[in-house]
């Protein structure tokens, strides 16, 4: 295993328990998802040795986190919010961050990392004119310059348009291979296309680990497509977990979770997506009233 996380707990000074006994094994390209405040950034900062855990341990390729310099040498980290000097070129930016890490890479090495993230053509352009997607990819290049075996990227696709997301996804895919990539995101399709395994973090606890297909399958047989007049659908929405509604004139089609006996409306089974599986996992206790049998 490249990343072994054991019983990791983090309590901030204000008493917030951001991680609660997290145990995870990570290899390949791995997706970490969870709502705002779930603890994703906290976990990533701990792995990047920027934050010391309250309890528990983690090893990266067998090296415990307290061997800080060794860990940093193996690891590239792209934080959730990064910005760059607008007047530097892409190449100068990567060089600047490399120098901060006491590296003095040659120009061909710098060009090579820019190539890896699809920015070779833009090497001499000023970063101030870059799109959101280009800036994220530049961040990836910065994280890659010392050729780390493990890359941790915190929400690399948030706030990007579909094209920008596609570019970043492509760059992330190209990093894979024998490297381990841990990425956090709110965008489930990004996990579906990029990651073979994933975990769901919720209120500091791991609620799921497995493949995206396995998470989608959690909702299998529990999701209905219901077509009724608008008002009837709106009534259902007030009482049950409705994933989506599409209005169609006076009619509406809803995707509704249902467990237990025969539903009181005409319905057809719906094929669950990863989003449905995620929603089911996080909300079933509070929002899906099961029929008693």
Interface ranges with ligand ATP (CB under 6 A): 12, 14, 16, 18, 34, 36-42, 80
Nearer residue to ligand ATP within complex by CB, 40 or 135: 40
Smallest gap from Cβ 203 to Mg ion, in A, equals 14
- CA 222 vs CA 84, 275, 283, 290: distances in Å: 47, 14, 13, 10
- Toward ligand ATP, which CB reaches closer, 135 or 255? 135
Alpha carbon dihedral 240, 246, 251, 254, in 10-degree steps, equals -30
Binding mask 259-278 for Mg ion (x = CB under 5 A): --------------------
CB of residue 80 to Mg ion, shortest distance in Å: 5
Distance CA(233)–CA(249), nearest Å, equals: 13
Pairing of strands 150-154, 180-185: parallel
Binding-site partner at residue 18 among ligand ATP, Mg ion, none, CB < 5 to 8 Å by type? ligand ATP
**Residue tagged 């290049």 (tokens):** 141
Task: Give me the least distance between CB of 207 and ligand ATP, in Å please.
Answer: 13
How many other CB atoms are found less than 10 A from the CB of residue 93? 24
Nearest to 66 by CA among 81, 79, 56, 76: 56
Q: How far is the CB of 158 from ligand ATP (least distance, A)?
A: 9
- Among Mg ion, ligand ATP, none, what binds residue 194 when CB lies within 5 to 8 Å by partner kind? none
Is 41 a binding residue for Mg ion by CB under 5 A? The answer is: yes
Question: Which H or E run includes 41?
Answer: helix 40-47
Q: Which does 145 bind (CB under 5 to 8 A by kind): ligand ATP, Mg ion, none?
A: none
The residues binding Mg ion (CB under 5 A) are 40-41, 80
């Amino acid at each position: 295993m490249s990343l072994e996380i054991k019983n990791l707990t983090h309590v901030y000074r204000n008493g917030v328990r951001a991680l609660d006994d997290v145990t995870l094994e990570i290899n390949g390209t791995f997706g970490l998802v969870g709502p705002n405040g779930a603890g994703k950034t906290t976990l990533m900062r701990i792995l990047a040795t920027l934050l010391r855990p309250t309890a528990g341990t983690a090893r990266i390729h067998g090296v415990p986190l307290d061997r800080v310099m060794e860990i940093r040498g193996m690891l590239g980290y792209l934080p959730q919010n990064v910005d760059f000097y607008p007047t530097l070129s892409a190449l100068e930016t990567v060089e600047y961050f490399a120098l901060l890490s006491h590296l003095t890479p040659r120009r061909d090495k710098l060009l090579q990392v820019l190539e890896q993230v699809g920015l070779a053509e833009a090497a001499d352009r000023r970063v101030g004119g870059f799109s959101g997607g280009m800036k994220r990819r530049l961040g990836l290049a910065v994280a890659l310059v010392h050729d780390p075996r493990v890359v941790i990227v915190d929400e690399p696709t948030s706030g990007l348009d579909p094209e920008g997301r596609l570019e970043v996804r492509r760059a992330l895919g190209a990093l894979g291979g024998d490297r381990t990539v841990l990425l956090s995101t709110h965008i489930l399709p990004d996990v579906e296309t990029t990651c073979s395994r994933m975990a769901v973090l919720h209120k500091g606890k791991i609620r799921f680990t497995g493949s995206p297909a396995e998470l989608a399958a959690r909702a299998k047989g529990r999701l209905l497509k219901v077509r009724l007049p608008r008002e009837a659908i709106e009534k259902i929405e007030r009482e049950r977990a409705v994933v989506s509604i599409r209005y169609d004139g006076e009619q509406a089609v809803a995707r509704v979770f249902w467990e237990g006996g025969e539903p009181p409306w005409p319905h057809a089974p719906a094929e669950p997506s990863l989003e449905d599986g995620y929603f089911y996992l996080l909300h079933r206790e509070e929002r899906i009233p099961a029929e008693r049998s």
